Amino acid sequence: MQHFRHSVKTIACVGLGLSCQSISSPPRPPLLQLPSSMGMGAKVAFFSSRFSSFDRYISGYGYLGGEAYWSACVEYILSRHLNITADFFWQRLPSPDETARYHRVILDGSPDEKLQELSETHPPGLLCRIRVMHFWGGWKAPAAFDARMVLTPWISKENAPVPIFPLSLQAGHHGLHTPHNVSAHAGLLLGKACEYFQGGGLQLISALLNRSFVLHATTKCAAFPAEIITHTGLTPMPFAKLLGKMAFLVGFADPRVSPTPLEALAQGAAYLHPSDTNQHPVLRSVGAPYVYNYRTDDPASLVRAALLAVRYPFDSFVPFSNRLETTIAAVATNLVAHDGVCVCLMKGPGHATACEGSLLQMRDGGFL
């Protein structure tokens, strides 16, 4: 194939009466343009015991909740796609000298408390480098701050969206879900805490068992029927492999906006979303055959959703906003490149004082 391409180029040169050396493709521009002021060796710091690098998360070390999942996604993009080094520190506030060494410093916790305390030690030129990850988004900024200082994995008009992507696909687990290893009537119950399944949850589980569905869970609960198959102590990659064997994932009221439904879709398991609890307001609108909405007060609606998931299987699906290439652009733009916060926080004559603007462009109440 290489020889064929060379021959075509040679014919083109001869036909135009030109030397082949004079024809060359222009250099391809970089996929993403980062600020020239960053220079070489730019760094981002993560300050939280709940944050994790990609390699650490995939290996199953330390805290494995949503905050670790999000930071693993961001670190993967920074180090592998943007050539930016990420350093990790335990849960504490950075000193002004530490902040000055980093292009961005990312914290975890209450934005109000963190930013207020840091504003007492950091001048505006340093404070504007700080970002706080708030998993649920929708944070309203006090007058002294900018709402874009808060990062969220989900769509948010007020804060800075830095979405997640299915980590298992980047760890070599794409394609686990095939017609040969899926248990057609198997479903996984979403949740690691037994209180998620109390009350009406047990009635929903019984409704599925009565229709001969095989249910799995990742926690042992005394109230569970004996038929439920439990898998405890799973690290992320074995968990992704388990999802690849499921026809569907059953959501209950909690946990809210978990990354697990996204991993389920990536591994070919439909997500059964409890629409009356608004467990996952982002994925609930994806629609069949990937997401089916049901009501927790109507077990029959859950059974119908499960039957549809079995009837219409799929190999893998990742929504646009959670694809790797989309997330790369969001990290580069919303986290790394956007310096509107530094303009906003500068007060006094000649400086802007209005902390306004959104990193989610919309038109007439909808997305562009």
Residue 156 shares a structural domain with residue 182? no
Residue 337 placed within a domain: yes
What domain count does the chain have? 2
Residue 313 shares a structural domain with residue 341? no
Residue 144 shares a structural domain with residue 195? no
Q: Measuring CA to CA, which residue among 181, 179, 189, 177 is closest to residue 268?
A: 177
Residue 60 placed within a domain: yes
pLDDT in the model for residue 177: 45
pLDDT in the model for residue 346: 62
Residue 22 placed within a domain: no
Instruction: Annotate 26-62 with three-state secondary structure.
Output: CCCCCCCCCCHHHCCCCEEEEECCCCCCHHHHHHCCC
Q: 190 phi and psi, to 5 degrees?
A: -80, 120
CATH number, domain with residue 40:
3.40.50
pLDDT in the model for residue 360: 55
Q: Measuring CA to CA, which residue among 99, 121, 81 is closest to residue 45?
A: 99
Residue 154 shares a structural domain with residue 290? no
Tokens of 42: 């730019």
Tokens of 265: 């879709």
pLDDT in the model for residue 18: 36
Residues of the chain with pLDDT under 70: 1-40, 143, 173-183, 345-368
Residue 127 shares a structural domain with residue 175? no
Residue 131 shares a structural domain with residue 250? no
Residue 133 shares a structural domain with residue 96? yes
In order, the DSSP letters of 298-315 are: -HHHHHHHHHHHHHS--S
Residue 175 shares a structural domain with residue 313? yes
Residue 31 placed within a domain: no
Residue 87 shares a structural domain with residue 116? yes
Residue 285 shares a structural domain with residue 301? yes
pLDDT in the model for residue 7: 34
Residue 275 shares a structural domain with residue 306? yes
pLDDT in the model for residue 121: 93
pLDDT in the model for residue 340: 77
pLDDT in the model for residue 158: 79
Residue 56 shares a structural domain with residue 182? no
User: Which residues form the domain of 46?
Assistant: 36-165+327-361
Tokens of 139: 């944070």
pTM of the entire structure?
Answer: 0.84
Residue 15 placed within a domain: no
The pLDDT tens digits of the residues spanning 131-141 come to 999 887 778 87
Strands (E), the chain: 43-47, 85-89, 104-108, 130-133, 150-152, 160-161, 186-189, 214-217, 229-230, 248-250, 270-274, 291-294, 362-363, 366-367
Residue 8 placed within a domain: no
The pLDDT tens digits of the residues spanning 73-112 come to 999 999 999 999 999 998 889 999 999 999 999 999 888 8
pLDDT in the model for residue 353: 52
Residue 3 placed within a domain: no
pLDDT in the model for residue 139: 80
CATH number, domain with residue 269:
3.40.50.2000
Contact 167, 58 (CB under 8 A): yes
Residue 72 placed within a domain: yes
